[in-house]
Structures are given as structure tokens and as C-alpha cells.
Amino acid sequence: MTDRADLLQGTLDLLVLKSLVLGPLHGWGISKRIRQLSSDVLQVNQGSLYPALYRLEDRGLLRSEWGVSPEGRRAKFYTLSAAGRKQFASEQAGWRHFAAAVEQVLEAT
């Protein structure tokens, strides 16, 4: 894996966790919420969304459950676990720290 992939992956994880803080969503709902919240700037590549979901579930940060969507369809809903909330908090802090640092560097010129 290259460094770039790692960075992207980390960012995606953070976005997924954030989108679930407000409540359970299914896969498509997650991608839609990220799009909405970023005002269509961030387009989640669906192909990497599902691997990320499975990976996060595997790490115990998410739980999944089959249920019925608001559209009346059978769908798999993802919920944040307690560990997921904790992880989100720390990743959010890390990201803010990182973004502030980058900002500071850019301001310096």
C-alpha cells in the first residue's frame, strides 16, 4: 500500500464515523450524507466505501443489522459502537490538529 492510500483510507474512516454519529444509516445513506454534509465536494468512491465499512465492522467500531429503510427496502444498517464513538473522538481531534498544522504552514508564507 502506498502512503497516499493510507491517508485516504484514514480520512474515509473518519467521514464514515462522523456520518454515523447522528444515527444508524445504510451504505447508500452514508455515501449520501457525506456528499450532503460536504456540499457535494466529497464524492465517496462507492468501491472503497464497502471495504471500509467491513473493515470498521471487523475492528469492532461499527455494528450492522438488517432492517427496513425509510424507502421501504430491506437494507443493512450500520451503527456506531461505543468503541466507534471513542475512535471518532480521537480521530476527529487528530484530524483537527493535523488540519490546523497544515493551515498554519500555509499561512506562514
Partner 1 sequence: MREAFKRFRRGVRALVSRRALDREMDDEMRLHVELETEELVRAGMPPIEARRRARLAFGGVERFKEEARDGRGSYFLDRTLRELRLSLRSLRRNPGFAAVVVLTISLAIAASTATFALLERIVLRPLPYPASERIVQVTHDGAGSDMADMGLSSGAYLHYVERSGTFQALATYQETVLNLSSGMGSAERIHVTMAGPELFDVLGIHPVVGRAFTAADARGSFMNLNWTIPVVIGHELWQRRFGGDSAIVGRVIRVNDRPREVIGVLPPRLAFPEPRAQLWMLFIPEASRASMDGPGSSVVGRLRYGVTPATAEAELRALLPSIVGRFRDATAERLAEMRPTPRVTPLREIVVGEDAPVLWALFGGVLVLLLVAIMNVANLFLVRAGQRSREIAVRRAIGARSADVTRLFMTESAMLFLAGSIIGLMLANAALAMLVRASPIELPRLQEVRLDGWALAFAATVAILGTLACGAPGALRWRRDIPMDQPLRATGAVGLGRRGRRARAILVAAQLSLTLALLTCAGLMARSVAHLARVPLGFDEAGLLTVEIGLPYAKAGRYQAVYSGLLQRVRAIPGVGEAAMASDVPLSGIWGNSVPVFDVASGEGENVPRASLVFHSADYLDVMQTRVAEGAMATPGGSAVSHPVLVSAALSRRLFRGGESVGREIRRMDLDGELDPRQPSYTVVGVVEDVRQRSLSEAPAEVVYVPLIDPPVDPFIVPTEMTVVVRTTLAPESLVADVRRVIADYDASLSVARVRSMESMVAASSARSTFLALLLAGGSLTTLLIGAIGIWGMVGYAVRQRIAEVGLRLALGASTRSVTTLFLRDALAITLAGAAAGAVLSLVAGRVLRALLFMVSPTDPVTLLAATILLVVVGLLAGYLPARRAARVDPAAALKVE
Tell me how far apart the alpha carbons of residues 79 and 63 are, in angstroms, rounded to a whole number: 5
CA-based Rg of the chain, rounded to a whole angstrom? 15
Q: Which is nearer to partner 1, 54 or 98 (CB)?
A: 54
Q: Does 63 bind partner 1 (CB under 8 A)?
A: no
Q: Does 71 bind partner 1 (CB under 8 A)?
A: yes
* Smallest distance, partner 1 to C-beta of residue 88, A: 19
Among 8, 10, 14, 28, binds partner 1 (CB under 8 A): 28
Q: Which is nearer to partner 1, 27 or 84 (CB)?
A: 27
Among 21, 23, 67, 73, binds partner 1 (CB under 8 A): 73
What angle in degrees, to the nearest 10, is found between the helix axes of 46-58 and 27-37?
110
Which residues lie closer than 8 Å to 67 by C-beta, 6 or more apart? 24, 74, 75, 76, 77
Tell me how far apart the alpha carbons of residues 95 and 109 are, in angstroms, rounded to a whole number: 22
Can you give the binding site for partner 1, defined by CB under 8 A?
A: 26-28, 31-32, 45-48, 50-55, 58, 69, 71, 73-76
